[in-house]
Amino acid sequence: MSGTPLLLIEDDRDLGHMLVDLFTEQGYTVDLAPDGQRGLHLALSRTYNAMIIDRGLPTIDGVDLLRRLRGRGVTVPALVLTAFGSLEDRVAGLDAGAEDYLVKPFEIDELLARVRALHRRNLDQATLLPLGAGWLDPESHTVRLPTGEQVTLSGQECRLLCALASRPRQVHTRASLRQRVFDGARKESIVDTYVYYLRGKLGQRVVSTVRGVGYRLGEL
């Protein structure tokens, strides 16, 4: 499965490359912009699930950059990562359209958790859910394959795939899927049945089995 696309706008060369390596190890596909102008270009020309924006950037300040992006309709969730930690600075960043604000120096685990939260927010608000190189459209119950072909799903198949795709790294137990997707249906095998249906339509790898636990999103 292709990585989650992440835009990192950071002018500190060493920190930027360290964060690229960190997020790549976590399964993200990272574009690094060393200044605000390059960050603006990337954010307007490519699709991302989250952005990390340094406050003190060359060419365009991070807060100004965020205002420009929001003004042009870019709604990708953003975290402002900065050395400016006063209340006034935090308010300025949030008012410019940031969803989160983290002050340097920071703990790596906290940064990763905050970016995961941004990614979840993006998926919760998305009209199309990524399936590796393909897409799921919950409104039309269709999956667009990497080849361009479209496959139509039943309502239950679509709800099950939505549940997996909205939390692509999470392992879902059969009990939780039965409750969330099938309204707590008593028939314990119902989840396995619909996983079988999805694999029949989209290929065996679309849903991965985690033995002894349940299922997670696979790949097309």
State the pLDDT at residue 127.
Answer: 61
**Omega cis (within 30) before 105:** yes
Residues 93, 136, single domain; the answer is no
pLDDT confidence tier of residue 123, bands split at 50, 70 and 90: low
Q: Which of 125, 143, 162 is the last residue of a domain?
A: 125
Q: Copy the structure tokens of residue 57.
A: 């950037």
Residues 114, 51, single domain; the answer is yes
The pTM for the full model equals: 0.58
What CATH number corresponds to the domain at position 103?
3.40.50.2300
Of 34 and 94, the structure prediction assigns the larger pLDDT to: 34
Residues 108, 194, single domain; the answer is no
Residues 13, 92, single domain; the answer is yes
State the pLDDT at residue 136.
Answer: 87
pLDDT of 187 > 90? The answer is: no
Q: Which of 73, 98, 125 is the last residue of a domain?
A: 125
Residues 208, 105, single domain; the answer is no
pLDDT of 103 > 50? The answer is: yes
Residues 116, 145, single domain; the answer is no
- Summarised one tens digit per residue, pLDDT across range 14-71 is 999 999 999 999 989 999 999 999 999 999 988 788 899 998 899 999 999 999 998 8
Q: Which domain holds residue 207?
A: 129-217
Contact in structure between 26 and 19 (CB atoms under 8 Å): no
Residues 13, 115, single domain; the answer is yes
Residues 163, 191, single domain; the answer is yes
State the pLDDT at residue 96.
Answer: 81
What CATH number corresponds to the domain at position 133?
1.10.10.10
Range ranked top by mean pLDDT from 96-100, 107-111, 114-118, 142-146: 107-111
- DSSP letters along 29-85, please? EEEEESSHHHHHHHHHHS--SEEEEESS-SSS-HHHHHHHHHHTT----EEEEES--
- Please count the structural domains in the chain: 2
Residues 117, 135, single domain; the answer is no
pLDDT of 207 > 90? The answer is: yes
